[in-house]
């Protein structure tokens, strides 16, 4: 019987890309295929480098394609409702490959001035300095700033929403229109919300990147990245870069972990968000806290925009603790459920001090322009019991009150 509707997000998360009929034993999950090469039907078979099609069960050599990676690529494309998906060795590899696929020396990129710090460094120290790609960074919370920065050579607009750690939001569909009116592509790093809470292609983006290290894998035990697009020419170039020019694809074991992680994405994201909302409200009411940055709070300056373009607010928030940096450090070091660590998106709660950790390399001036004070604390709220998390924060505040 034909089904009337396509399977929903939760269903695709569990099964798309994995087909029990494809293995001899009928495995319900795709095995970890480790083979580096595959036997061919014969010399005359038309399995040339360009023709192998994993969708027809054809494999030639492990760098080009691998059944476990192929399943993960189909899964991620399906979750973002994209025609093409690619999995990479890291989020950074995914983003760098996207830039290489969309800009050439002499081209210009407009970027959010509040990107993941590694992406900003990649743009300035590699693409600008070494590849002669010019980059203008703007405060994209006002789409007018993006429009004003566009030049005749602008080929790519690169956004993140919400940003890290200030949780600023940019209007993706307005920015998509600005990019398209100027013959540029819009790319979005969707790591912070995952496709469960935001699907940038449906808002007009042309290409979407992820660090699968974060929510998509979700268990802090794999480094990986993914890119999806509906754009056939960008996809051709991504494939060439991933398989031939760079060979920076995701290894089979990480692809297996990613497939496994995505099965629980919906359930995890709902729990992350429910816990984050309780903690955001707890912090907002706390006397020792100045400002809380979480799009789910009505006090967030772009609460309405985030409600329109996202289907949830996610599990990451930041806040300014009162006192000086030594108070912030004492608070962090006194916690036991929240681990002091960089990264986000795992089932366990993590907490860090951007000015001394992730955003230390930016320098004090850039940090203050981005609103990253010395006492701004960022947390990635996990899926532990909320009462244990709040009790831990209570202990932290008690330790600095003494
Ligand atoms: C972590 C992260 C990256 C980089 O991903 P890696 O897997 O560490 O290379 C890029 N963008 C965002 C938003 C991230 O959080």
pLDDT digits (tens, 9 = 90+) for 277-290: 999 999 999 999 99
Report the percent of the chain where pLDDT is more than 90: 89
Three-class secondary structure of residue 231 per DSSP = coil
Which CATH topology does 9-261 take? 3.40.640
| pLDDT at residue 241, as a whole number | 98
User: How confident is the model over 10-20, as a mean pLDDT?
Assistant: 94
Give strand pairing partners of 168: none
Instruction: For residue 28, report the distance from its CA to the centre of ligand 1, in Å.
Output: 30
Do 352 and 378 touch, CB atoms closer than 8 A?
Answer: yes
pLDDT at 1 over 60: no
35, 164, 270, 304 from 299: Cα distances, Å = 53, 18, 22, 10
How many residues in the chain?
402
111, 120, 177, 202, 353 from 270: Cα distances, Å = 30, 30, 31, 21, 25
pLDDT band at 362 (very low <50, low <70, confident <90, very high): confident
pLDDT band at 379 (very low <50, low <70, confident <90, very high): very high
165 lines ligand 1 (CB under 6 A): no
Q: How many angstroms separate the CA atoms of 248 and 286, rounded?
A: 46
| pLDDT at residue 2, as a whole number | 57
Domain boundaries, the chain: 9-261, 264-400
Do 326 and 332 touch, CB atoms closer than 8 A?
Answer: no
Instruction: For residue 350, report the distance from its CA to the centre of ligand 1, in Å.
Output: 15
Task: Give Cβ neighbours of residue 147 (< 8 Å, ≥ 6 apart).
Answer: 178
161 lines ligand 1 (CB under 6 A): no
220 lines ligand 1 (CB under 6 A): no
214 lines ligand 1 (CB under 6 A): yes
pLDDT at 126 over 60: yes
Q: How many angstroms separate the CA atoms of 145 and 351, rounded?
A: 32
| pLDDT at residue 3, as a whole number | 66
121 lines ligand 1 (CB under 6 A): no
User: How confident is the model over 316-345, as a mean pLDDT?
Assistant: 97
Residue with tokens 């080929």: 155
51, 67, 295 from 301: Cα distances, Å = 51, 45, 8
Atom of ligand 1 nearest to the CA of 213: 7
| DSSP annotation of 244 | I
226 lines ligand 1 (CB under 6 A): no
Which CATH topology does 264-400 take? 3.90.1150
221, 264, 273, 344, 364 from 251: Cα distances, Å = 13, 21, 30, 21, 38
Residue 271 annotated among the catalytic residues of the structure: no
| pLDDT at residue 19, as a whole number | 87
pLDDT at 328 over 60: yes
CA geometry: angle 165, 217, 87, nearest 5 deg: 100
Residue 268 annotated among the catalytic residues of the structure: no
Q: How many CB atoms lie within 10 A of CB 310?
A: 21
Report the percent of the chain where pLDDT is more than 70: 98
211 lines ligand 1 (CB under 6 A): yes
| pLDDT at residue 398, as a whole number | 97
Instruction: For residue 210, report the distance from its CA to the centre of ligand 1, in Å.
Output: 7
Q: How many angstroms separate the CA atoms of 319 and 271, rounded?
A: 20
31, 49, 244, 277 from 59: Cα distances, Å = 15, 10, 15, 46
pLDDT band at 354 (very low <50, low <70, confident <90, very high): very high
| pLDDT at residue 45, as a whole number | 64
Q: Whose CA is nearest to atom 2 of ligand 1?
A: 211
Residue 74 annotated among the catalytic residues of the structure: no
Identify how many contiguous H helices and E strands the chain contains and give both numbers.
14, 12
Catalytic entry in 63, 121, 134, 239: 63
| pLDDT at residue 157, as a whole number | 99
| pLDDT at residue 401, as a whole number | 87
Residue 63 annotated among the catalytic residues of the structure: yes
Instruction: For residue 360, report the distance from its CA to the centre of ligand 1, in Å.
Output: 16
| pLDDT at residue 47, as a whole number | 66
| pLDDT at residue 39, as a whole number | 92
Instruction: For residue 24, report the distance from its CA to the centre of ligand 1, in Å.
Output: 37
| pLDDT at residue 28, as a whole number | 92
The answer, yes or no, to whether the previous bond of 162 is cis (omega within 30 of 0) is: yes
> What's the order of all strands across the beta sheet hosting 350-352?
289-293, 316-321, 376-380, 350-352, 339-340
The whole-chain average pLDDT of the chain stands at 95
Q: How many angstroms separate the CA atoms of 31 and 17, rounded?
A: 12
Residue with tokens 């990451």: 316
pLDDT band at 52 (very low <50, low <70, confident <90, very high): confident
| pLDDT at residue 334, as a whole number | 97
| DSSP annotation of 360 | G
């Amino acid at each position: 019987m034909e089904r009337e509707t396509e399977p929903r997000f939760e269903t695709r998360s569990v099964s798309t890309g994995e087909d029990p009929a494809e293995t001899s034993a009928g495995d319900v999950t795709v095995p970890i295929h480790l083979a580096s090469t595959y036997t061919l039907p014969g010399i005359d078979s038309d399995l040339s480098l360009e023709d192998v099609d994993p969708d027809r069960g054809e494999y030639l050599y492990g760098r080009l394609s691998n059944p476990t990676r192929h399943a993960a690529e189909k899964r991620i494309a399906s979750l973002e409702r994209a025609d093409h998906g690619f999995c990479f060795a890291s989020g950074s590899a995914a983003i760098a490959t996207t830039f290489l696929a969309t800009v050439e020396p002499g081209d210009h990129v407009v970027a959010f001035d509040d990107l993941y710090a590694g992406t900003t460094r990649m743009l300035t120290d590699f693409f600008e300095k070494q590849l002669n790609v010019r980059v203008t960074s703007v405060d994209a919370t006002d789409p007018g700033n993006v429009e004003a920065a566009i030049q005749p050579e602008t080929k790519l607009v690169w956004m993140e929403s919400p940003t890290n750690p200030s949780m600023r939001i940019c209007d993706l569909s307005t920015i998509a229109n600005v990019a398209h009116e100027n013959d540029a592509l819009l790319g979005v790093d969707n790591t912070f919300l995952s496709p469960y809470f935001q699907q940038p292609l449906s808002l007009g983006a042309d290409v979407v990147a992820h660090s699968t290290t974060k929510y998509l894998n979700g268990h802090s035990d794999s480094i990986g990245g993914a890119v999806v697009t509906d754009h056939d020419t960008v996809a051709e170039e991504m494939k060439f870069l991933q398989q031939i020019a760079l060979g920076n694809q995701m290894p089979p074991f990480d692809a297996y972990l990613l497939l496994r992680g995505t099965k629980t994405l919906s359930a995890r994201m709902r729990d992350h968000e429910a816990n984050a909302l309780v903690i955001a409200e707890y912090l907002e009411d706390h006397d020792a806290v100045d400002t809380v940055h979480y799009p789910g709070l009505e006090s967030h300056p772009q609460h309405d925009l985030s409600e329109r373009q996202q289907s949830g607010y996610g599990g990451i928030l930041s806040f300014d603790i009162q006192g000086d940096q030594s108070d912030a450090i004492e608070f962090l070091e006194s916690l036991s459920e929240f681990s002091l660590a960089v990264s986000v998106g795992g089932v366990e709660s993590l907490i860090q001090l951007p000015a001394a950790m992730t955003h230390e390399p930016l320098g004090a001036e850039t940090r203050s322009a981005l609103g990253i004070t010395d006492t701004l604390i960022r947390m990635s709220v996990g899926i532990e019991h909320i009462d244990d998390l709040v009790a831990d924060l209570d202990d932290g505040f008690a330790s600095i009150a003494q």
